[in-house]
Structure 1
Amino acid sequence: MSNQRTDLMCELVELYALDGLTKEEAAQFKKHLKTCAVCRNQLIEQQLVVDLLPTASEPIEVPQGMRERVLDHVFNSTAASHPARDVVIRSVSELDAISGSGTALKTIRASRSTQAAEEQQAMDDSSRVTELSRISSQGKADQRLRYWRLASLGLSAAVIGLGLYAYSLKGSMGGLQADLVAIQETVNGLQTELVGLNSKLAAASKPAAGMQVNKIVTLNPAAENIVSKGLASIVIDSKGTHLIVQADDLPEVKQQEAFQVWLIKDNQPVSAGTFSPQEGKGVVYFTFEPKDYDTVAITLEPDANGEKPRGSIVLAGGLKS
């Protein structure tokens, strides 16, 4: 029965080539073409013939024997093949219509052209969808590529920044080490000066040969809020006349400030030396020519380079009794 149905479908090649089948019949015949090489070859030949037909043709006679062959298959087919028989009967009727009018052939050719155009449009739409999908996929890939490029650039910039920061930090460390060396040298110098000062104090505390204390004067605060106190001594030895000034509980100095000792006569001050206090204490040893000075004073100066008093008096005492 399957072979008989296949033979009936093979008889529909001419009608399929002329677009004379309904959509359901055409769909069935297309399935048949997938498994029948003979029909595929015949269809190619039939389509070549149809393409050579003129757009307007005279009525033609159905080939002798074609009607009998088709009807013979119809009447001899089994009950199981009735759907195919109906297809053949409708096909014969369409052949009658074709043989009776060239206009019907035009209609069929126009239908075939429309169907081909629809199939081509469907293929074009499918191609466009595929192309859009490819473009979209390519766009996403390009976007990911741009993202990774930007990320790589950001990472490179961060590495360069860290390198520059490390280089700058290394330079800062070198500068700090140089500053530490300079500070250490300054501390060493201060220690040396302190040793020398202690030596002077020790020498001053020991009476020299033939030393004679000429006068001792108490230095009093110049203001009520000052708690400092001091003592000025004038001694004479074989080397000359010397002024020794000692002060305690002195206020701390700021930045370049220093204490300065003055010998005053008729309101004309003469600098007798400067010092910075150590734990609130300070000492000055000054050799001078006796000129009947009437006052000794200690002032707090902005620096140790003044030739005249510029700051305020902290301690003072009279030398004339």
Structure 2
Amino acid sequence: MKDHKCEWVLDYINDQLTEEERIEFEQHLKECAECREEVNEIEGMMADVSSHIEEVDPPEGMKERVLHQVFAEETSETNTVTPSKKSFAPLSKVWTGALAAGLLLSIGANVLLGTQLQQLSSDNENLESTLSDIQVALSELEDEQNRNELATASPFERASLSPTEEFGGGGLATMTQRETGYELLVQVQEMEELEEDQVYQVWLIEGQNPVPAGAFVTDDQGNGAVTFEMNEEDDQSWDAIAVTKEPQPNNEQPEGDIVLQAEL
């Protein structure tokens, strides 16, 4: 009786056996000359055709026609040959052809599938790169729009800052309107040198109520500047603007003397 392990030839060639089955089959090969011959024939055919395989899709119905023809030949051989020990030889040839045909179809399908997966992976990488470029471009466009909005300013009031009798220097106060509100720019020159923690403080004045509008220090030539942003709800009818010399920054009420002033 033929050993059932003879049915493992194709699975062994395709490396589909478990480790335990592979060991059993290799032990079986040592004892079965017929299986050794089939394995050697199939491996020889694989070596001959491996360098000539093209990545093509088998014609529709090819596998069915091949197997139909093989099984037809097997049936013919079975009907005409009296079962005996020698009858296994031609039957082995038939199965060898079937195994080879199936193996070639499997190799072609695997190669084609591998190529398609590689192409799909490449397409995904290209798509991710394109999306990343679009996101960067949109971010840059948004930044540019923000810069343009910040850069758009419309000056609507200027006032020259004049020194009081005890101090020198001078300056210019400019009120501009932006998309988000108002901005006050104060620029001064030839101011007296500050000492230690002293700062120059800008005040917007309505009646008798001063509102702090930023502080600054000057360089060694007495030049300095400061900007103060106001929301639309902070818009008031300011009467005057003044600059004082304060002993320290962040005062809520003036402590020092007025050194520059202008009516608005």
Asked which structure has the greater CA Rg, the reply is 1
State the TM-score, normalized to the length of structure 2: 0.41
Which structure exhibits the higher relative contact order, with contacts defined as CA atoms closer than 8 Å and separated by 6 or more residues?
Answer: 2
- Larger % of helix: which? 1
